[in-house]
Amino acid sequence: MAAIIFIVILIFIIAIQAFLPKFLRESEAFGIYIPDTHVKDQRIVHMKNRYTQLILTSGILIIVIFIGWLWMFRPAEEQIVFSGMVAQIGALIFSMGLYAKNHISLANWKKNEKWTEGQSERKVVDLQFREQLKILPSLFFIIPMLITLGLGVLGLSQYDTLPNQIPTHWGPSGEADAFAEKSWGSVSALPMITLLLQGMMLFFNGAMKQSGAKIQVRHKKRSRQQQLAFRKYSSWLLFVVTITETVLMGYLQLTIIYPEIMSASVTLGFTIGYLVIILGSVLYYTVKVGQSGTRIAVAEQDVNPENVIDMDDDQYWKFGLFYVNKDDPSILVEKRFGIGWTINMGHKGSWVFLVLLVGSIFLIATLL
């Protein structure tokens, strides 16, 4: 079962990475802003297609080698888990290396050929945009947190009846494979981890409301509708993740409190269900919405002004992956290469969030 799980995840990672350029804005390629005058440049089209081909070819090779190794050596579950992780990391490293090569090439073309020269750069500000957002209210995320808090209190109330060894990790087979001595910390660790994950989803959902909209100057109506849809679907994806992790972690907490309900097959079923829902939701989100809502069909057409382009903000994107802009009030910003959001490393609030996150993880680790 572990082998099947890792093969499925590997296929998912490779497919998403390979076709990622097709789910992004035309005006952004490999972390570089592309003005409208060059979005149809055949060199860029060829670069995207070549990227997809190479990622698919290397990915298929990795999968074939992994399956061949499984068939020839019949490894133990621990070896499968380790090798599966190595295969996933290898696929990601290769894709990032290819991304880096393309990023540098595009940056050089843009600089040497002066793509934005002679054009007026403008930024669209829509004062009514936030009023029309359809992001889920915070209550949708707070209720699961209250459920987790209740399970944590229940675990502590049953402290005297709990076994001396508390499960802290469950393997791909559904069996607990790591334990810690019973303590207030080990009994509370799982609910605390769950609360941390739920808190992150709540934070991201709220930060999206304050995030500035990237409305294109030459496609105002279309990009505005796509931006609204992108945020709505992003909020629902966060909610789906919150609910599924609440169900899975809640079940695991109950198996600690009431070991008699523990069943490896049921635990495996919950785990597989969690993976199916999460991977399926991300896949639907990617294909249906795309980055910045670019795959959302909009009937309204714009009258495009000539010699006007969006603001070139490449200077704020370090290697096209890390956004650093202290003058931008947004904590959360849309990714340039990838699906979803990233944080503004130039905002003080982002560093407060990261410190709290790392501190919480360290605190939970010391309790085990």
Write the pLDDT tens digit of every residue in 268-288.
889 889 999 999 999 999 999
In contact, 243 and 136? CB cutoff 8 Å: no
Which residues make Cβ contacts (< 8 Å) with residue 115, sequence separation at least 6?
34, 35, 37, 38, 109
Per-residue pLDDT at 65: 95
Residue 146 carries which side chain, given as an amino acid letter?
A: L
Per-residue pLDDT at 363: 85
Per-residue pLDDT at 218: 80
Measured at the CA of 72, the angle between CA 68 and CA 73, to 5 degrees, comes to: 115
Per-residue pLDDT at 29: 93
In tens digits, the chain (368 residues) has pLDDT values of 678 888 999 999 999 999 999 899 888 999 999 988 888 899 999 999 999 999 999 999 999 999 999 998 888 888 888 899 999 999 999 999 999 999 999 999 999 999 988 788 888 777 788 888 999 999 999 999 999 999 999 999 999 888 888 888 787 777 887 888 989 888 999 999 999 999 999 999 999 988 888 888 888 888 889 999 999 999 999 999 999 999 999 999 999 998 887 788 888 889 889 999 999 999 999 999 998 898 888 876 666 666 788 888 899 999 999 999 999 999 999 999 988 999 999 999 999 999 999 998 888 888 76
For residues 32 and 336, give the distance between their C-alpha atoms in angstroms, rounded to a whole number: 8
Structure tokens at 359: 């501190």
Q: Buried b / exposed e across 30-47, counting CB within 10 Å, b at 16+?
A: bbbbbbbebeebeebeeb
Cβ burial of 173 (10 Å; 0-12, 13-18, 19+) is middle
Per-residue pLDDT at 301: 64
Measured at the CA of 140, the angle between CA 136 and CA 142, to 5 degrees, comes to: 130
CA distances from 217 to 54, 212, 299, 305, 330 (A): 34, 14, 17, 8, 20
pLDDT in tens, 3-22: 888 899 999 999 999 999 98
Per-residue pLDDT at 48: 95
Sign of CA dihedral 132, 134, 135, 139: positive
Q: What is the CA radius of gyration of the chain?
A: 23
Sign of CA dihedral 209, 210, 214, 220: positive
Cβ burial of 220 (10 Å; 0-12, 13-18, 19+) is middle
For residues 154 and 156, give the distance between their C-alpha atoms in angstroms, rounded to a whole number: 5
In contact, 70 and 80? CB cutoff 8 Å: yes
In contact, 192 and 183? CB cutoff 8 Å: no
Cβ burial of 270 (10 Å; 0-12, 13-18, 19+) is buried
Per-residue pLDDT at 302: 66
Query: Could you give phi then psi for residue 312, rounded to 5 degrees?
Result: -85, 105
For residues 207 and 333, give the distance between their C-alpha atoms in angstroms, rounded to a whole number: 9
